Structure 1
Amino acid sequence: MIVLEAPEGDTRLVMVEVAAADAAAATAAAWIRYQPNFKRTIKLVTVEQAINGWQEHKATSYETSPSEKAVIYAEAFRDGDNWTVLLLDGSEQTVGKRDAALDLAQQSLRPKNYVPESFAGRTAHPLDRERQQQMHAFLQEAMKTLGVPGLSYALLDHGKIVFEGGLGVRELGKPAPVDADTLFMAASNTKGMSTLMLSTLVDEGKLKWDQPVTEVYPAFKLGSAETTKKVQVKHLVCACTGLPRQDLEWIFEFKNATPETSLQLLATNSPTSGFGEVYQYNNLMASAAGYIGGHIAYPNLPLGAAYDEAMQTRLFTPLGMHHTTFDMARALRSNHASPHAYNLDGKVEVLPMSFNYSVVPHRPAGGVWTSAHDLIRYVQLEANLGKLPDGKQLVSADALLARRQPQVAAGENRSYGMGLSLETAWGVPVVYHGGSMFGYKSDIYLIPGEGTGAVILTNSDQGRMLLRPMLRRLMEILYDGKPEALASVHNAAERGAAERKEERRSTSLPPDARAVKGLAQHYRSAELGDLTVRRHGKQLMLDFGEWQTAAGTHKNEDGSMSFMTSSAAFSGLELVVGSRSGKRTLTTRDGQHEYIFTER
């Protein structure tokens, strides 16, 4: 048995080798060895894809009560007659903070003497029509398996665009097909484009990557004065400053938010880890990077208008990304895909767009609407080191490549640069980045050594289960790799269905009548705003102003009661019933922050 302890002292990752008849027995034996008196109710057991030399892989999650703020989890891997079991016994805050280290341990765990598959040194096949058809067939089956209504994708081969098109429909129940020009929210894929805009400012001498942010924007401020002084321009987009996510605050309160208040919100966020110590993704920092860049380019314009103009003139127009926009109204008037997700009853439904307006005030981090036709032109520029198809150098190779310098480790052979993820995947260097908004999931992929890549945009939350498999399938097609991608999609679909079934089982709908009766009508959180409780017959609606959701109840292991949001768009957010100073409260958390709604 090996026990790895986090520096905080409240989280342990335990590796245990046991001989057992099956995964359940192996997991039970591992807990006994680590913690002889371990007793937890099993929440869910899922079958995971067996790769990296393992013949079997199962995961077990356990019930915990909100007051514990704990994460208890196990994974069992079989090699022949022997099992290796990973046990996670930790606090929510530390698990959230140390996620990259935990990923490193899990991703690098393999049977003794197993040699990982590697494409290093191989020459990639060209993406000819036969191989394009292989990708097409894979995406068709993956869409059907996952319940994704529509997607658009494009392929790049040695610096040249060889395919762009769409599959499925823009909206479930309507005939309009997805094509190469259909607009989707690309979400966090905005970040890489924002840093490319910053690269043009570097080329002009208006900015330096290692320049303190306060030199170019004196009003910049974080919750920690010490960290504020340390932050250079590159650190705004490196996920390495120790600032954790602060997403609930901008998702809940956006009606009156502006680019200016986006920067001000950063001043309420303090680091939870040392500078450069761990990978912690923060959308507001990336938002600040884009707005500051726009301000440098157009100092006489308001922050939002300056950023939009800088992106248009320095990137979208030169690249021929004519349909790409930050204008929600313009996007929704045009050929666009609607967002979708599974509801708790296992049916795909169209989501309200209201949730996605939350990113507009913070759009450099994830607010762009784009198409496969447009987005692949951005990847093409990356592949051609800043050179346009007509030979003109839009941005220098040095400024562009600086964004691909690893800034912080993010897992096994993975790191984060400036708005770009970097990985040596199956022995081959890859640049990529995912994007996620409500009902939209996307990714870009580039194999720099080949000048080959792809983009994918989907109109479903289920699309997230397709992003990593698409990279795997691309590598399989290019390098004759083992056929694992489609099995990964099927496994993800089965796991997702099991998780939805468990969530539905544990959520009482309609909610417990006694618990509903005990609610106040109005609550307020200093950070997340107002909450109004509305009752429609047996249905309970929680109205947060900008958006509302149905809710059910869940009785916790310690006897406490939680209300669980149940809309397809925002399912599973927990609000724990409590009291403080004689007033009723509802408390929610994002892992590293706690937010309390108090009756008023």
Structure 2
Amino acid sequence: MPSTDASGSLSLSPLPCRGGLGRGALALLLLLAAPVATAQTANPYDKIVDATVARYHLPGIAVGVIENGQVVYTRTVGETIAGSGQKITPQTLFKIASNSKAMTTALLGRLVDQGKLRWDDPVTKYLPQFRMHDPWVTANMRVADLLTHSSGLPEGGGDLMLWPEPNAFTRADIIHGLAFIKPGYSFRSQYQYDNLLYVVAGEVAAAAGGAPYETLMRREVFEPLHLDRCQVGAWNRDTVGDVATPHRRDGGRNVPIPEDAAIPAITSAAAGGIRCDLTDMLSWARNWLVPTTAQLKWLSPVQRGVLQAPHMLIPVSEQRRAWDNTHVMAYGYGWRMADVDGQWSVWHTGTLNGMYSMLALLPDRKSGFVFMINGEADDARTVLGEALMKHFTAPGDSRDVRWYADALEQKAKQRSPSSSAPDTSAQRPASAAELARWSGQYRDPWFGDITLCPRDGKMHFAAAKSPTLAGTVMRLGDRYLVHWDGGELDAWLDFHAATASQPITLRMAKLDPQGDFSSDYEDLDFQRSGDCH
């Protein structure tokens, strides 16, 4: 339907259309058949989007809403690169991050329909080299267990082999490294989000399907569903065109995080490496809400039910209980689900280095929404998701964008000082002399090699396979930390003297205990392996 663009002028947003009439022709017919909107027409979605963009100063966003199976609203605001004048469009590609997981599980469901795979098959049937820390878990890990975040891996366990990018870790490295990551809880006993096992799931799909994950995703998902702009694997930004650049916040500004024109195939593709535009994401959503006959042949009703059925309970937070009156929350295969104000919702979010997204479905209403943001937007995503969801589940609720944003700010202020990052204003570079005892080469069995060696009178940390994790060792009081050159989440360094049975060891931890769980420094266990060269 008609909507206003960022400047407030009336524009017709293209609607998803595959086959038959082109996108523009179908949109024109819908416009002629409906009452003509004016710039003064009150639109509840515009109000929600405008308030969120203004509150959080987002660089760019694309939003789409489905009601009773039909796309009724699309809106794009902002720029692909802040300050460039290049406007976001419905064809602008965004990183959908962990929303990729549902596409990976759909691919696996296709293979199940084709008789090439079973959910209860052992992982070792397809990947004989697969090992978990516990041999019993290795033997009993099913394909389905890769998808429910209940393997025993600690939250975000091993994510430093995926991010930050670029890095040199391969999928073979991940499969090898899993054997050395100690479990954080017992197998199948609880929910703890991980990404590595979705990478493994992608390799299971490749083994069962007889082709690389990227090839299968294009052939089995993108092509039959006509997701024409979605990208996976290696591609070129300039050739594809209209690509959103991620941003970080710095001093109140949106600062672009540059990317090369040549986008490489990344190890994390099955867990979070797909990019799509708004038009394709709305087509993807409608495939779940109002599948056509052809789409029901593409993926059977049985497998659709399996993917979006509860498989592992997730604890319900106090905030979700208070805001949404949620009683049950669970994880399916690549989807989260919960009751919201008495209505069943199925959704997922995505977060990846300056990009945030959310796709939410209300299956019983054949309704839902999707949005993608090319900036740091943790709170913005929470607020926008709540406001859009309430439009369906509690239309009379007086809580709006401002209320949810204020509530999050108040919650942040009430956090205990001990749970936040320390004041680092007094830090200073540690001298090579004071750290001479600890200098050298170190090795962790899953992360690999690092060096702590003098450079220009200071001590420098460098990871062999993750070049972004390089920085200067600093002293803060009586402790040491590493300040990364690239702006990643800084980490404590805790050295332990050699004993009769083991060499010098190094443990790490996030400076901010509330920081992103993917910075899983706590799972590292370095042992000194040699001198600096």
TM-score (norm 2): 0.75
Out of 443, 458, 466, the residue aligned to residue 525 of structure 1 is: 443
Q: 1:593 is matched by which residue type in structure 2?
A: D
The equivalent residue for 1:280 is 192
Given the alignment of the two structures, is residue 135 of structure 1 paired with residue 45 of structure 2, yes or no? yes
Instruction: Find the aligned partners of 2:95 and 2:471 in 1 and give their Cα distance.
Output: 25
**CA positional deviation for 1:365:** 0.6
Question: Retained in 1: the 8 A contact 2:62–2:76?
Answer: yes
| 1:414-425 alignment, distance < 5 Å | 414-425=329-340
Q: 1:453 is matched by which residue type in structure 2?
A: G
Q: 2:468 is matched by which residue type in structure 1?
A: W
The equivalent residue for 2:65 is 155
* 1:219–1:490 CA distance, 2 compared to 1 (3 A): same
CA displacement 1:325-379 (0-9 Å, x = unmatched): 1135424652111111224x5543223549x989911210111111111122211
Q: 1:171 is matched by which residue type in structure 2?
A: I
* 1:554–1:474 CA distance, 2 compared to 1 (3 A): farther
Question: Retained in 1: the 8 A contact 2:98–2:271?
Answer: yes
Given the alignment of the two structures, is residue 440 of structure 1 paired with residue 355 of structure 2, yes or no? yes
The equivalent residue for 2:173 is 261
Out of 460, 467, 489, the residue aligned to residue 375 of structure 2 is: 460
Out of 271, 278, 282, the residue aligned to residue 183 of structure 2 is: 271
The equivalent residue for 1:296 is 208
**CA positional deviation for 1:143:** 2.2
The equivalent residue for 1:54 is none
| 1:6-405 alignment, distance < 5 Å | 133-244=43-154, 245-251=157-163, 255-298=167-210, 301=211, 306-331=212-237, 333=239, 334-343=241-250, 345-353=251-259, 360-384=266-290, 387-388=291-292, 393-405=297-309
Question: Retained in 2: the 8 A contact 1:507–1:554?
Answer: no
The equivalent residue for 2:15 is none
Question: Retained in 1: the 8 A contact 2:237–2:263?
Answer: no
The equivalent residue for 1:14 is none
The equivalent residue for 1:97 is none
Worse-matched range after superposition: 157-166 or 403-412: 157-166
The equivalent residue for 1:430 is 345
* 1:250–1:163 CA distance, 2 compared to 1 (3 A): same
**CA positional deviation for 1:187:** 1.0
Q: 1:414 is matched by which residue type in structure 2?
A: M
| 1:459-478 alignment, distance < 5 Å | 459-461=374-376, 463-478=377-392
Worse-matched range after superposition: 490-499 or 248-257: 490-499
The equivalent residue for 1:24 is none
**CA positional deviation for 1:210:** 2.1
Instruction: Find the aligned partners of 1:490 and 1:180 in 2 and give their Cα distance.
Output: 30
Q: 1:440 is matched by which residue type in structure 2?
A: M
Instruction: Find the aligned partners of 1:449 and 1:243 in 2 and give their Cα distance.
Output: 34
Matched residue SS, 1:454: strand
Matched residue SS, 1:561: strand
Report % sequence identity: 20
Computed over aligned residues only, the root mean square deviation of the Cα atoms, in angstroms, reads 3.6
Question: Retained in 1: the 8 A contact 2:507–2:522?
Answer: no
Instruction: Find the aligned partners of 1:564 and 1:546 in 2 and give their Cα distance.
Output: 14
Q: 1:251 is matched by which residue type in structure 2?
A: W
**CA positional deviation for 1:265:** 2.6
Instruction: Find the aligned partners of 2:339 and 2:293 in 1 and give their Cα distance.
Output: 28
**CA positional deviation for 1:594:** 3.3
Question: Retained in 1: the 8 A contact 2:429–2:472?
Answer: no
Instruction: Find the aligned partners of 1:533 and 1:220 in 2 and give their Cα distance.
Output: 35
The equivalent residue for 2:424 is 507
Instruction: Find the aligned partners of 2:46 and 2:456 in 1 and give their Cα distance.
Output: 46
* 1:452–1:142 CA distance, 2 compared to 1 (3 A): same
Question: Retained in 1: the 8 A contact 2:161–2:174?
Answer: no
Question: Retained in 1: the 8 A contact 2:430–2:474?
Answer: no
**CA positional deviation for 1:564:** 4.2
**CA positional deviation for 1:271:** 2.8
Q: 2:142 is matched by which residue type in structure 1?
A: Q
Instruction: Find the aligned partners of 1:168 and 1:537 in 2 and give their Cα distance.
Output: 45
Q: 2:246 is matched by which residue type in structure 1?
A: P
Is there any run of 5+ residues in structure 1 with no aligned partner, and where? 1-127
CA displacement 1:504-532 (0-9 Å, x = unmatched): 971237x4145576346765333253346
The equivalent residue for 1:120 is none
Question: Retained in 2: the 8 A contact 1:541–1:548?
Answer: no
**CA positional deviation for 1:393:** 2.8
Matched residue SS, 2:120: coil
* 1:332–1:389 CA distance, 2 compared to 1 (3 A): farther
Instruction: Find the aligned partners of 2:245 and 2:453 in 1 and give their Cα distance.
Output: 28
